[in-house]
Amino acid sequence: MQNQIDSWKKIFQNLLTQSSQRKVVLVYPPSRLEIVNHIDTASRELDYEIERIEVFNAVKLTENPAKFLHLLENLHSEDVIIIVRHNNFMKKLQFERFFSFSSGFQASDSRVMVLHMLIEDTILTNLCDIDYMELNTYTNDLESRVKDANKLRLTTDRGTDLTFVPRRWTKMPYNFENKSKVLLLPVGQLYTAPIENETNGTIVVDRCISEFPINFMDIISFPSIKEEITLKVRNGRIVNIKGEDEASFLENICLPQVSEGGRILGEVTFGTNPTKSLLNNIGAQDVLRDTVHFGFGMNTHLGGQIKANTHWDAVINYNQDEIEILEW
């Protein structure tokens, strides 16, 4: 337990500027009590003022928002709201009425940290307790390699061979500089929304596939990948799927429930987090430095043009030193 508390103290010291007065507000469901208690203790040991708001899926914040909105209005830019997600409670509680993942809470100048809802507490802490300066250097170097490329090719020994035309590359914010109000933890991604009809080739999925949020509400959990899944992509769209049970699950259970845009490749993301983890969990896998993941479906939030009733990711092992630039 003390190791976890010490880790969160380091995380705060890395991500937050020094302040003699800071309030930390923890918003969480009862299911995440363990990590909440670690963050609470770490905050108190750093002399932060703490307020805890426990939420339940059965009660919408917007039905009785007065206390919560009053709290938001009295927070300052040095204060931090930490949202510890689980079971899609932000969607169920209609947070979108007053919160945006890009700009934070409408009624507050405070900073916001949003913790991934799918990662077990200890793994999540480990993924956040990293050398953020090293992460920044690595991500900047990777961005410099690809930012001016007009066409790229990704290949692996397993059989992936994919070409795509990127739009601009974007780094996931890793601190609150550059006017960022929201941090999604864990950090470590460089992504692009490729031109939708310019992606062609083969993806051999050997790491994991995310859950399928149908209509961004009902969740289909994807099984662990024991046998590789081969996706044939033509003009941006999945046209063929090969493999064993996992491929059948994708083709016959998941994809029949998505709109047409859910078959279109709309994201290419290189993980840049230095943590080593083989946890079969999309939240952990898609930030790791030895991966690239491909997002399918809705990508307007990433700068693309696909509208769909879902967004799902496929993660593969990848050596980022082998990125091939085909056109400048």
Q: How does pLDDT run across 139-161, given as a tens digit for each residue? A: 999 999 999 999 999 999 999 99
Range list of H helices, the chain? 2-15, 33-45, 66-73, 89-92, 121-128, 132-146, 245-249, 282-285
Task: Look at the block and give the residue holding tokens 């899944």.
Answer: 229
Q: What is the mean pLDDT of residues 233-238?
A: 98
Between residues 15 and 254, the one the model is more confident about = 254
The fold of the 2-128 domain, in CATH, is Rossmann fold (3.40.50)
Q: What is the mean pLDDT of residues 75-86?
A: 89
User: What is the per-residue pLDDT for 282?
Assistant: 73
CB 288 within 8 A of CB 277: yes
Torsional sign, CA 243, 245, 246, 250? positive
Instruction: Report the alpha-carbon distance of residue 256 to residue 268 in Å, rounded.
Output: 23
Strand ranges (E), 217-323 = 218-220, 229-234, 237-242, 265-271, 291-297, 311-317
Between residues 29 and 36, the one the model is more confident about = 36
Of 19-23, 71-75, 91-95, 174-178, the poorest mean pLDDT is in 91-95
pLDDT 10s digits, 107-131:
788 999 999 887 889 999 999 999 9
Global pTM reads: 0.90
Band (pLDDT 50/70/90 cuts) for residue 289 is very high
Instruction: Report the alpha-carbon distance of residue 80 to residue 24 in Å, rounded.
Output: 5
Between residues 177 and 136, the one the model is more confident about = 136
pLDDT 10s digits, 177-217:
767 789 999 999 999 999 999 999 999 999 999 989 888 77
Query: What residue segments make up the domains of the chain, in order of their start?
Result: 2-128, 132-171+188-327
Instruction: Report the alpha-carbon distance of residue 230 to residue 188 in Å, rounded.
Output: 26
User: What is the per-residue pLDDT for 66?
Assistant: 63
Cis status of the peptide bond prior to 186, with omega within 30 of 0: yes
Which of these, 197, 205, 200, lies nearest to 304 by C-alpha position? 197
